[in-house]
Structure 1
Amino acid sequence: MVTGVQAKLGATLPVVFLTVHYGLGHLAHLTRGETVLVHGATGGVGLAAIQYARLHGAQVIATAGNEVKRDLLRALGVEHVLDSRDLRFAEEIRRITEGRGVDVVLNSLAGEAVSRGLEALRPGGRFVELGKRDVHENKPLRLGPFGRNIAFFGQVTARAHTLDVCDTQAVRRIIMEAEASGHPLRGVIHSAMHLEDGFLGTLTDQQLRDALNPKMGGAAALDALTRHHPLDLFLTYSSGNALIGNPMQSSYAAGNLCLEALTRKRRAAGLPAIAIEWGAIGETGYVARNHSVQETLSRLGILPIAPGEAFRAAEDFLARSTCAWAWPARLAQPPALGRSTS
């Protein structure tokens, strides 16, 4: 968590950065030397986009709706700052780029501004649409600019909710809101955890509840509330701890084993479910933040895997969906361990 940021606000930070990474990285492939137009650049996504562009060596042209916001952008070092409410920004962009146009537009405006943004693209440019207003209002889109071989990417809107996963009423409310908005729930990924290290006999009842509730209580609530929904996936995050054990983390092992028992129960009922017994994940997360844990796992021959490898492994397990649990880990030597899934 960033120092000085409340938990409720901090929980939303990954949403804006993932939106930018997906839009500018995965879709638009923004690269060094290119120019990106960022509309509404003082919002969360806009500020994240400026950071992303600078990190990747791209030039930024930014817009904002009033002078105070435009002054903020200039104070942040953005060289070219335009008025998002003045549709002449397309002409200004041609002047700034000496007639070439920009390589990428990250758009959050609506109406005529969308067409102006398309006009601001160079041949072969990429337009990443974040807004939904024109979609909901069924507004027409001019096709002339597409003659310059430009690409148009619609964007998925993500929302972050801060709640206790064990609070069935709160979880039910989120599911109902999604249904009412026309976006029914299609998948569950349960990754909550809480550690209370200590030998089993030394843990208090409260410590046991604190450790077990996020995994056991949360999974039970999600299972009960989604049983009648046509889910494509129900993924729970277990740990290799459930397989190899750890006397100082008995409550954590118990919580993970409960997830795997629930997974087997759902699969027996014909419902989607898979539990992944994660090994050590490198670069980010609990293990990456605790060097002593890394050293302990390394002595056991369990080496960290990169987040990208972990995502690819999860994608593979979900695609095959032939096992109730799986253990992706990099091992210094194969362990003399095994367990039947029957």
Structure 2
Amino acid sequence: MLPGPRWVLGETSSVASDWEDFLDSPDMVHAVPADVLVTGGYHSLDEWPHLADLRAIDFFCGMDPEDPTGELVTTRFIAFVQTLVSHRIEHATGPCRLTVVTRRAVHDVEDPRGSALWGAVRSMAIEIGEEARIDFRLVDLGDSRDLETLAWLARRDLRERELAIRQQRLWAPRIVSIRERHVRVPAGTEPAYRLTLDNAGQISGLEMKSCELPEPGPHDVEIEVTAAALNFRDVMVTLGLLPALAYERSALGHEIGMEASGVVRRAGPDVKNCRVGDEVAFLQGGCIANRVVVRDQLVFAKPGRLSMEEAASSLSVYVTAYYALNHLARLRHGQRVLIHSALGGVGQAAIALARHAGAEIYATAGSDAKRSRLLEMGVRGVFDSHSFDWLDGLMAATGGEGVDVVLNSLAGHHIELCLQALRPGGWHCEIGKVDIYADNALGLRLLRKNLRFAAIDVDRLMLDDPALSRELCQSCLNLIDQGELPAIPVTEFPYRDYAKALRLMTSGQHQGKLVLKAPSGKGDPAFTVADVRPLLDPGATYLVTGGLGGFGLRLLPYLAFAGARHVTLLDRDPDRRRTADWIRESSALVYTDLEIEFDIVPGDVAVEEDVRRCIAQVKRPLKGVFHLAGILDDRFFDDISPESMSKVFAPKADGALHLHRATSGLELDHFVLFSSTASTIGNPGQVNYSAASAFLDGLAVVRHRQGLPCLAFNMAAVAAAGMASRSLHVLRMMRATGMPPVSSDSAIANLDFAMRSMADRDHLVTAMFTRPAWTVELPDYMRIGRMLNNQDAFEAGGG
């Protein structure tokens, strides 16, 4: 027996009348005439039967071509619930289940009009307090034959609050987490790629990404990379520890990787020092890649004595040590040299050069094991680099005389001790950068013994004196090739383990150099590359609505970087005179030299004639539509009016429908509707916006079922951009509910992922969660909360 008393109301075109046939206690059912819904005659609600004891309400949404977006039916339903809530707060004696029944409005959507009701109810259920004692339910039918299953549901109290019925089967929605950050390069393809830093401050901010190589110029060489070495500078760049001063004049820039080896693929006509097929070593920022284009003056023939891995690791360390000890300090036979942190790459190169010069070597290291290893290598005396006591030990070992040259990488008070350790006329060669960038003071009195102080920066030298840089590199390689200098010991990692190698370098537990080996031609199934190649057609036009607002000005640079070169924008406020130059100056395009054409067309997406006129005058093939237009009119539920609904629906829902109709027959690649998390999760104060956004979600499914491209991109509030960023109470409310605003960069990255990989899917939710109160007691826990609390279930396929 169905629970009662019960009210049944619905639109004339709905199956409300058919539903009444399933009700087995007619005396407990009040069938509300359909015209009451139309006229809004709820003033007599207190005269309807069973008001205080009501246990169930069934509201049926029909199909109405005069209300294609669902604005009208949603407005009427809101008016009914507004009246119902005020009466129930005063008179209700028990809980009441309010079931909103739609037909083909979710799942396999045919009528997105009903989708708007789903969005409205999701926010409504959050906002309406427990004192009204209303239990909101959403059920979608395939056809009238599913009423039998609806009757079965009505007799039971299932936990699920949202269900679709198809042929006596129940379907429940679930939000599923997507773990991938980027789309992967398809198997069998091999575009150029390199290790790229997205977010400085953490090693996880690195990722192998596809890239575009420049065409080699007359003096350029294209190289197939075989191996690339890591240096401590790479750790500093990755972790964001280098100050801006470090990039003031840098040949390497913000790139990861500075030296590598490989095979020449192509050479410019003016290149004289190498040919196609030659094995070479080279210096180049961003060389942890599969292919690079390098200036010929930074490319050198690989010494035959070295493997490709050894060649990749030799240049930076040997050049640094050679420039300091040989070129500047002129280290010669019989002199004494102190090498700090001597088991690192530069330290071992310095030991080899000092031994070649016939110098007496002293060194420091940070552990007993490393110090023992240095003694085994023939170092005269070793000391602890983690203590200031090394000076006393050094002076004792040298009879109080000290050394002629110091190669220092230690910071702080160690520098003063180094100067004290020098003999008269000695050289202090500083390869550390901490004190230099910090502009730390140094007492000049320490230099009174005719001491020389040199700061060594090979990165800067490559720009300041490229001829000398090449001379130093060639001298070191010649010595290696002649057998005068040994190869630096290397520890090899495959490219896929770059993070593991960097973490080892960060720990300081390695010896010699760490080298990354590029995958062989056969490929490595475990090695993946993010595909960020341009995906938009530079010869096509892309239409953007709402593109002149905060988030729109974030989207336009993305479209440019994704390949778009012709963008048409609808401007509903031409009096503001926002021009193409204004767009460039107001967006990140001001920092690029990308040439992109903007055609700004006066018009309102809420006016179908304006949309058709805009599309008709597009000169190039229209390949994509990005619908951002929208207005917020946040209100408490009791304050929502028909005017508020129209204000919100016009640009968002009506605009989407106009674009859908106006592009009918066009071969689009992308049709992106910027929806909201409010339509899927709900948000108090945004019932109107939730409803309009849910229509977009439904329309996306309809287009997919018609074989048309579409993505409903359900965004959370975006920090520092977009409509919500101008509404402090919305931002506070979202933070309080555990769903803070996302960054525009994060939103754009997720959009890019969806456009590249989700052509077969109709929507993507982009949001961030910080301890939301989605416990197992939450009615919607199975739909949304389980995603956060039981991730393993999804990884096991349970989602």
TM-score by length of 1: 0.55
Match of 1:168 among 581, 593, 608: 608
Q: How does 1:202-213 map to 2 (within 5 A)?
A: 202-213=639-650
Give yes or no for the alignment of 1:237 onto 2:677: no
Aligned to 1:90: none
Range with greater deviation from structure 2 (253-262 or 162-171): 162-171
The amino acid that maps onto 1:291 is: L
- Please give the secondary structure, in 1, of the residue aligned with 2:712: strand
Which entry has the higher C-alpha Rg, 1 or 2? 2
Change (3 A) 1:311 1:11: farther
Larger relative contact order, structure 1 or 2 (CA cutoff 8 Å, min sep 6) = 2
Change (3 A) 1:11 1:259: farther
Which protein is richer in strand relative to its size?
2
The amino acid that maps onto 1:258 is: F
- Please give the secondary structure, in 2, of the residue aligned with 1:170: helix
Match of 1:16 among 581, 584, 587: 581
Distance 2:644 2:590 in 1: 44
Query: Do the aligned partners of 1:200 and 1:251 also contact (CA within 8 Å) in 2?
Result: no
Query: Do the aligned partners of 2:631 and 2:723 also contact (CA within 8 Å) in 1?
Result: no
Give yes or no for the alignment of 1:295 onto 2:732: yes
Q: CA RMSD in A?
A: 2.7
Aligned to 1:150: none
Match of 1:314 among 751, 756, 761: 751
Distance 1:326 1:243 in 2: 10
| CA displacement, residues 68-99 of structure 1 (integer Å, 9 cap, x when unaligned) | xxxxxxxxxxxxxxxxxxxxxxxxxxxxxxxx
- How far off is 1:310 after superposition? 1.3
Give yes or no for the alignment of 1:329 onto 2:767: yes
Change (3 A) 1:279 1:337: farther
- Please give the secondary structure, in 2, of the residue aligned with 1:213: helix
Query: Do the aligned partners of 2:675 and 2:693 also contact (CA within 8 Å) in 1?
Result: yes
- How far off is 1:18 after superposition? 4.1
The amino acid that maps onto 2:676 is: S
- How far off is 1:22 after superposition? 6.2
Distance 1:159 1:240 in 2: 31
Match of 1:275 among 703, 712, 718: 712
Distance 2:694 2:577 in 1: 27
Distance 1:301 1:327 in 2: 15
Change (3 A) 1:187 1:242: same
Distance 1:17 1:338 in 2: 44
| CA displacement, residues 2-55 of structure 1 (integer Å, 9 cap, x when unaligned) | 9xxx94243625x4244356665233xxxxxxxxxxxxxxxxxxxxxxxxxxxx
| CA displacement, residues 197-223 of structure 1 (integer Å, 9 cap, x when unaligned) | 335554332222122121121111100
- What is the identity percentage for the equivalent residue pairs of Structure 1 and Structure 2? 24
Query: Do the aligned partners of 2:629 and 2:652 also contact (CA within 8 Å) in 1?
Result: yes
- Please give the secondary structure, in 1, of the residue aligned with 2:600: coil
Distance 2:658 2:687 in 1: 22
Change (3 A) 1:208 1:268: same
Aligned to 2:591: 25
Query: Do the aligned partners of 2:605 and 2:611 also contact (CA within 8 Å) in 1?
Result: yes
Aligned to 1:142: none
Query: Do the aligned partners of 1:212 and 1:252 also contact (CA within 8 Å) in 2?
Result: yes
Aligned to 1:338: 783
Range with greater deviation from structure 2 (185-194 or 230-239): 185-194
Distance 1:11 1:239 in 2: 29
The amino acid that maps onto 1:267 is: H
The amino acid that maps onto 1:10 is: R
Aligned to 1:191: 628
Distance 2:643 2:727 in 1: 24
- Please give the secondary structure, in 1, of the residue aligned with 2:598: coil
The amino acid that maps onto 2:770 is: A
Which structure 1 segments of 5+ residues have no match? 28-152
The amino acid that maps onto 1:287 is: A
Query: Do the aligned partners of 1:240 and 1:279 also contact (CA within 8 Å) in 2?
Result: yes
- Please give the secondary structure, in 2, of the residue aligned with 1:330: coil
Q: How does 1:103-114 map to 2 (within 5 A)?
A: none
Q: How does 1:41-80 map to 2 (within 5 A)?
A: none
- Please give the secondary structure, in 2, of the residue aligned with 1:173: helix
Change (3 A) 1:185 1:206: same
TM-score by length of 2: 0.24
- Please give the secondary structure, in 1, of the residue aligned with 2:709: coil
Range with greater deviation from structure 2 (263-272 or 282-291): 282-291
Q: How does 1:28-177 map to 2 (within 5 A)?
A: 155-177=595-617
Distance 1:231 1:307 in 2: 25
- How far off is 1:166 after superposition? 2.2
User: Runs in 1 of length 4+ with deviation above 6 angstroms?
Assistant: none
- Please give the secondary structure, in 2, of the residue aligned with 1:221: helix
Which structure 2 segments of 5+ residues have no match? 1-547, 550-571, 775-780, 785-799
Distance 2:757 2:709 in 1: 12
Query: Do the aligned partners of 1:11 and 1:160 also contact (CA within 8 Å) in 2?
Result: no
Query: Do the aligned partners of 2:648 and 2:689 also contact (CA within 8 Å) in 1?
Result: yes
